Amino acid sequence: MTNAQYALCVSAGGCTSPNDSRWQDSNYRDHPVRYVDWNQARAYCAWAGVRLPTEAEWEKAARGTDGRIYPWGDSAPDERRLNYNGNVGSTTAVGTYPTGASPYGALDMAGNVWEWVNDWYDSGYYSQSPSDNPQGPATGESRVLRGGTWDGYDDLVRSADRNYDLPVVWGLYLGFRCVRSQ
């Protein structure tokens, strides 16, 4: 979600302001909103009539059904496909890297900002989860983050890479995307 999209929710009273002054700067209106915690991300999605993706949905959108390593395929990351490895020094506008699109056409599934997903984090969950559309653990302490960040290295922007943090944590690298249920 971009700063401009998030600003609409703040203006409508559905969201609280990110802990970052840049979200109101017109030079960054099309950059991903950041400095939002999981609760703020969930509130935005609810306000917009959508929801945070499950971790399984996020990963399928990034990897497709062929199990690709990165959203664009199995070739190594480079500056034509994503914002990573500190190559730009900060976030870039959403959609800047169309050659990094996933098989479903989803953009920015690697690099730019870590994205909150709905699931609680459990390092062993997938060894015991249902194989068809797992919904994540019922409880936990931390929430899952996916996608890597603008200063993450090759291994941190792989579609299968997982990260996590407490749902009340916000920061320079934390953003989100929403999905619509079918």
Residue 130 confidence (pLDDT) above 80 = no
Residue 64: CB atoms within 10 Å? 16
Q: CB–CB of 62/101 below 8 Å?
A: no
Lowest average pLDDT, out of 53-62, 92-101, 131-140, 172-181, goes to 131-140
In the chain, the amino acid numbered 182 is Q
d(CA 170, CA 148): 15
Element (H, E) at 117: strand 114-120
pTM to 2 decimal places: 0.94
Q: What is the pLDDT of residue 118?
A: 97
**Residue whose token pair is 């690298």:** 173
Residue 137 confidence (pLDDT) above 90 = no
Residue 182 confidence (pLDDT) above 80 = no
Residue 126 confidence (pLDDT) above 80 = no
Q: What is the pLDDT of residue 112?
A: 97
Nearest Cα neighbor of 22 from 8, 4, 40 is: 4
Q: What is the largest CA-CA distance in the chain?
A: 46
